[in-house]
Amino acid sequence: MRVTVGQVEVSADAGANVVVARSVVTEGARLGADLVVLPEYASAYDHRGVGPAHAQPFDGPFVRMLEEESAVGGLVVVAGVVLPSRSEGDDRASNAVVVVDRGTVVATYRKVHLYDAFGGRESERLEPGDPAAPAVVVDVAGLRLGVMTCYDLRFPESARRLVDAGAQVLVVPAAWVDGPLKADHWRTLAQARAIENVCAVVAVGQAGKGLVGRSLVVGPDGQVGLELDERAGVRTVDVDPDALVAARDRDATLTNRRYVVVPR
């Protein structure tokens, strides 16, 4: 599976974000990618807080562009977006990740763990996803991809639930906020999720003010095969399905487990 990682810088200018994201998808198509991953909040971002003013519906310009370009390129795009609230009377927005497969939105994950930590309060502007909603796992180029986002990476049960649903690769769009040790946390947690679940991790960070960037692709043994710095950049890498199967044949971690994960 060929993956294009789009570590882009995003602004509150919705039109500019469409242009930036389109360039990443077209670059992925040019290089023969099966999958393009854009960061959390790829449709709009403001470091002071993201909320209803940044939301677009599914038929808005950002998702429409993803549908058009993924159809032309014959590939799958995973991207963080800001959607309107699904709840009547709730004036917050929804932090979501869409999976667009060759012209069609085939899955949507709404962020379960809102970033109410390290001084942030996402829940003031964003509604949480339902922890009991079905795990979002999709097929891409012979592999099963599980979708989570950003702060979810700190919760191992989120990753394990996706793996229990069949995921071999965890895809993690993020806008990981910078701060003391935060870049270390990001890298360590991505490696931990890969090792404990014997899976690959494609963790794509957003570049820009107050964010760590540092997108990485991690193998099931925890080795980092691709890593960017804090600057915007686009890279393409191959993930070997046979290597993932072989890793699970050697490593009995998932077979030997004695607990299950259930929503609370």
First and final C-alpha spacing in the chain = 34
Count CB-CB contacts under 10 A for residue 176: 26
Nearest Cα neighbor of 25 from 59, 53, 64 is 64
pTM of the model: 0.97
pLDDT, tens digit, 9 for 90 and up, residues 162-205 = 999 999 999 999 999 999 999 999 999 999 999 999 999 999 99
- Point out the residues that are catalytic: 40, 111, 150
pLDDT, tens digit, 9 for 90 and up, residues 113-170 = 999 999 999 999 999 999 999 999 999 999 999 999 999 999 999 999 999 999 999 9
CA–CA distances in Å: residue 213 to residues 14, 38, 53, 71, 263 = 20, 12, 24, 28, 30
What is the spatial distance between Cα 198 and Cα 189, in angstroms, rounded to a whole number?
14
What is the spatial distance between Cα 73 and Cα 84, in angstroms, rounded to a whole number?
28
Structural domains of the chain in order of their starting residue, each with its CATH number: 2-251 (3.60.110.10)
Nearest Cα neighbor of 101 from 134, 67, 125, 129 is 67
What is the spatial distance between Cα 31 and Cα 167, in angstroms, rounded to a whole number?
25
pLDDT, tens digit, 9 for 90 and up, residues 55-100 = 999 999 999 999 999 999 999 999 999 999 988 788 999 999 999 9
